[in-house]
Amino acid sequence: MKEIRPVENILSSCLVCGSMPTIKSHLIPRAMAREVQVGKAHAVAFKPGKFSYTQSGLYEQNILCAACDNKLGLAEKLAIQTFRRIRKEAKALPVGEYLLSGIAGDSILRFICGVLWKYSVASKENGRIALGRYQDILQKTAFTSIDVPSGVDAILCRLKRHKDDDEVFAYRAPSPDRKEGVNGYRLLVGGIFIFLKLDRQIPARGALARASIRNRPDLPYVVLHAEDFEEYKLPSKLINNDGRLSSFLDKQEKQ
Ligand SMILES: [Zn+2]
């Protein structure tokens, strides 16, 4: 059947290069939204039939042309494969700090910048975030090959619910946060909790100083217990109350 496109979609031009038309762009990569279904089934096994929300994820129609969306798609593909590798490797690992060889930190940072940028141009209903002066910086980092600016860095944490966990239990759209005295955003995709630092300050000690990924030829990551994170606690509570998990997954918290 022929797809019928709404008029405003035909008229809108790409926010990055100005080309027309724009296409459907997923805010969280679709493959990452889909991975959650496995974890979700697992998480609600004790309550069969009570939890049946679909997780295809949210998208925007008017932000990117096919070429620009594809550019992000390449970074997203690498991130999906990388996060799968981390989950597999971390299955046998205790809490601690590790390195994934052969994956450059900057390539994952460009992926994170792309996701955050998409949320900065998303509709309010889809959980738009305000990046301020970092909107332009993240756009350049995601869509061009400029060096990742020093104010932009991230830490990756594999959250495990139990000893042999290699699954994805939830994803979460970006929400503003502050860690170790610096500003940034937290998000959860592919079973990996990410804190993206958007701040010129560089903490002298702590996890950000030791395990941040910018400029690293091999990818640092930290294995942690999921129970210590609200990304685990809140969905568990919602599942228990039979609440709408999707409203938590797709939107940032109300400020
Ligand atoms: Zn474009």
pLDDT tens for the chain, residues 1 to 255: 555 555 555 578 999 999 999 999 999 888 887 777 544 433 322 222 333 333 456 789 999 999 999 999 999 999 999 999 999 999 999 999 999 999 999 999 999 999 999 999 998 888 889 999 999 999 999 999 999 999 999 999 999 988 999 988 777 888 899 888 899 999 888 999 999 999 998 877 888 888 999 999 999 999 999 988 887 776 666 555 544 455 455 544 443
State the distance from the centre of ligand 1 to the C-alpha of 9, rounded, in angstroms: 14
Helix/strand/coil for 162: coil
Burial of 10 (0-12, 13-18, 19+ CB in 10 A): exposed
Q: For residue 21, say if its preceding peptide bond is cis, omega within 30 degrees of 0.
A: yes
Alpha carbon 130 to its chain centroid, in Å, reads 16
State the distance from the centre of ligand 1 to the C-alpha of 140, rounded, in angstroms: 13
- 8 A C-beta contact, residue 153 and residue 197: yes
State the distance from the centre of ligand 1 to the C-alpha of 13, rounded, in angstroms: 8
- For residue 217, what are its two tokens? 């030829």
Contacts of 218 (CB under 8 A, 6+ apart): 99, 100, 101, 102, 103, 104, 105
Per-domain residue ranges of the chain = 76-250
**Which residues are near ligand 1, the ion (C-beta closer than 5 Å)?**
14, 16-17, 19, 65, 68
Other beta carbons less than 10 A from residue 116's beta carbon: 26
d(CA 22, CA 156): 32
Alpha carbon 238 to its chain centroid, in Å, reads 21
State the distance from the centre of ligand 1 to the C-alpha of 247, rounded, in angstroms: 29
Alpha carbon 69 to its chain centroid, in Å, reads 16
